[in-house]
Amino acid sequence: MADPMRIRAVSKDGVVNVKVLMSHEMETGQRKDAAGKVVPAHFIQSVTATWQGKTVLSAQWGPSVSKNPYLEFNFKGGQKGEKLQVTWTDSKGDKRTDEATIN
Amino acid sequence: MNQTRRNVLRAGGGAGLLAVLAAAGFVAPKVAMAADWNKAAFEGKTVQDAFKALGAGAPANSGDIVMKAPDIAENGAVVPIGIESKIPGTESIALLIEKNPSPLAASFDIPAGTELSVTTRVKMAETSNVYALVKANGKYFVAKKEVKVTLGGCGG
């Protein structure tokens, strides 16, 4: 299982600024290891952020997204103390969900 | 960056790269894919392929898309890119890097209530045009910016 995501959600003037740092190798499938063998592709394919059961952002990613991906976006309506969940699914079918409290 | 990495960069070019891509395409169906992942678009080899697979065809140029990207990226492995759309009714924002092996890097669906702006970090193989494709009210708009890369980040 992958390491937890770091999620920061800060509410200001009715808008929540969300910053997510995920921990993932994001292998492109193009790199070779020291023995010259291709390192198989392994990357996050989809990311979904939900707040109060409502999707506030969904994304599809390819292997071009950097290792340990970073994502920032803003949405309206979140209040301090409410929860925000972020889920990713990678190309091997692994999943991870983490939750953060809006500050 | 260590020396191994440089060797990898050299070895990865040309015919080797094509073989790798073919292999990836062959192996992919066995892997559990996320259900909504647009495989054709992500595996398109040119910006036009990806536009087509996204259903965009020939998008119109727009000055209402603001792209925050460096003019020169020292490290192609981590290039911060922010895209903001000022087009009302924006539904999705896609990010494409022309010279990457597969140009489409990311596609974001923006529900109502979420601001029309996303920021992420991508890998760039070499100096390339970066495209921001915005879908608004069923129409497609595009903006581009060239980002110079001094050290590639795609191992290929």
pLDDT of residue B5: 59
- Check if the beta carbon of residue A21 is closer than 8 Å to that of residue A5: yes
In chain B, what are the domains?
Answer: 3-149 (2.60.40.2470)
- Say if residue B27's pLDDT is above 50: no
- Check if the beta carbon of residue A50 is closer than 8 Å to that of residue A84: yes
Distance from CA of B131 to the nearest CA of A (A): 14
Question: A6-27+41-101: which CATH topology?
Answer: Immunoglobulin-like (2.60.40)
Contacts of B84 (CB under 8 A, 6+ apart): B65, B66, B67, B68, B116, B117
What tens-digit pLDDT sequence spans chain A (103 residues)?
Answer: 568 899 999 999 889 999 999 998 888 888 888 888 888 889 899 999 999 989 999 999 989 899 899 999 999 988 899 999 999 998 888 899 999 999 8
Question: What is the rounded distance in angstroms from the CA atom of residue A100 to the CA atom of residue A78?
Answer: 12
Question: What is the rounded distance in angstroms from the CA atom of residue B67 to the CA atom of residue B122?
Answer: 14
Q: For residue B66, what are the CA distances in angstroms to A15, B47, B89, B134?
A: 20, 19, 16, 11
Distance from CA of A73 to the nearest CA of B (A): 5
Instruction: Please give the structure tokens belonging to residue B116.
Output: 């029309």
B residues 84-123 closer than 8 Å to A (CB): 97, 100-102, 104-111, 113-115, 117-123
Contact A72 B37 (CB under 8 A): no
| Per-residue DSSP letter, A28 | -
Q: Which ipTM was obtained for this model?
A: 0.89
